[in-house]
Amino acid sequence: MNKIFKLLAPQSLVGIAAVCAVMLCLIMAMNLGFILVADGVFVRPISFYGVQAIVVGAPFVFGFTAITTYQLRLQRHLSLLSRKDGLTDLNNRRTFLELAQKRLDGGNAGVLILFDADHFKRINDKWGHAVGDRCLIEISHRLKWNLRPSDVAGRIGGEEFAVLLSNATLHEARVIGWRIGQPIPYRAVDNGPHLSVTLSMGAAEIAPGIALDTHLIRADEALYLAKSKGRARMVIWEPRDKFEENAA
């Protein structure tokens, strides 16, 4: 049904003109067929009936095409809104998990990184939620500027973000994480004081045969260790015995 709907509501002017032309031709053919069956003969030139069908049918064809085109555009817009975070324009949690799972299903290697804005509650408490929103927007800009087209990014919580670096090594993840993790500047108000926020990062290397939920748990454990070690840093997940050794 969706394919038929999309076929009847093309996005280009050429496509719209083609649909209108085909529908008008069908109306002309149906009109001529009806007259032939009803009267058994054309009492007027065929061209007359063709013009008659166009004059009568054109308003309905154009109206139908306009409505279906508008409905399709609205559907696409609503679909986009349902998949994006309204504030940062990054993928929302559900979309990020779907795209990340597709990468894993495709056998892609890489590194999963969780980011958390350091002391974000203090920002909201001191400057207000509007300033907190500005901070989150600047974080999203930093992510977009430093990621590759093949990477997947999303806002998965209040001040928590996630990135799946497709086919990246741990060394590449450290380099990208270092660039993203530099203090991110923003302003409380226009012409107000310059502020900055740092990020704590937990990374987990994608391992074959391991579920996405497990990678998320590992990255979250690494993120917790990054916070406990002073924040504003990246920690790579390791087996628990090594974690406890590093945290000691």
Please pick, among 159, 205, 238, 245, the residue that the annotation labels catalytic.
159
> What totals of helices (H) and strands (E) does the chain contain, helices first?
9, 7
- 235 phi and psi angles, rounded to 5 deg: -125, 130
159 an active-site residue?
yes
Nearest Cα to Cα of residue 234 among 103, 97, 118: 118
CA separation for the pair 231, 116 (Å, rounded): 9
Count how many Cα atoms sit within 13 Å of the Cα of residue 27 in the half-sphere of its side chain.
20
Query: Quick one: tokens of 221?
Result: 């454990």
**Amino acid identity for residue 177 in this structure:** G
CA separation for the pair 56, 50 (Å, rounded): 10
Q: Hunting for tokens 């509650």 — which residue is that? A: 121
Helices (H), ranges, 40-86: 46-83
Catalytic sites, residue numbers: 159
